[in-house]
Amino acid sequence: MQQLLEPPASSAGNRPPGRLLGLAVLTLIVCSGVFATTAAADKPIVTTYTSTASAVLTDVCSFPITVDSSATIRETDFVDRSGAVTRILLHVVEQDVFSANGNSLTGIPFTFNLDVLFDSEGNVTHVFASGVAEKVPLPDGSLFITAGRVDFVAHGSPPFLILPDVGATVNLEGFCAALAP
């Protein structure tokens, strides 16, 4: 590669004949890859909708917690020429209400992205969520916050997770104490 970019010292400013050919071949290879990728895919399908869900968390505190969530979702489905979905990207703004033992906490709306990946046969291989996973003001004036990245598939595809695989969780003890009996 270095030889294609630098003329030999003996050329006295003239370009070696192989340099233009090398750059032309390199350009052709790059453009072929770009156009082949574009030709194999169709235009993404974008949909916006709202969703509500409810789940019971049993692995966050020492007691079960019910979470009710509402979200606005912008979903982008990437498809190939045959219409088969190859990837789904969701941009989510969510707000959750947690309840346990007669206590409840309402979270602040937060934003995250969800990336659903498929293998060549259309099976889901990963569901990566990244961003803020939860932001909840606590009765004592402090804040419970958790953010990072999690792969839902690695956890058995549960409907709801608030603790990231990679990232940080701040004040989980205060969150559990506010919902404790």
Angle in degrees, CA 77, 45, 165, rounded to 5? 25
Most confident of 21-30, 63-72, 122-131: 63-72
What integer pLDDT is reported at residue 164 of this predicted model? 92
pLDDT for res 4:
30
With beta carbons less than 8 A apart as the criterion, state whether 72 and 92 touch. yes
| Pairwise CA distance, residues 113 & 115, whole Å | 7
For residue 83, what pLDDT band results from cuts at 50, 70 and 90? confident
Most distant CA atoms of the chain, gap in Å: 85
3-class SS at 176?
helix
The number of angstroms, rounded, from the C-alpha of 157 to the middle of its chain's C-alpha atoms is: 15
Question: What does DSSP assign to residue 78?
Answer: E
Is the per-residue pLDDT at 5 higher than 50? Answer: no
pLDDT tier, 69 (very low <50, low <70, confident <90, very high otherwise): very high
Nearest partner of 59 among 131, 156, 129, judged by Cα: 156
Structure tokens at 87: 């990837």
CA distance 30 to 17: 21
Which tens digits make up the pLDDT trace of 109-168?
A: 999 999 999 998 889 999 999 999 999 999 999 999 999 999 999 999 988 888 999 999
Q: Which residue shows structure tokens 């590669």?
A: 1
pLDDT at 18: 40
Confidence class for position 53, pLDDT limits 50, 70, 90: very high
pTM of the model: 0.72
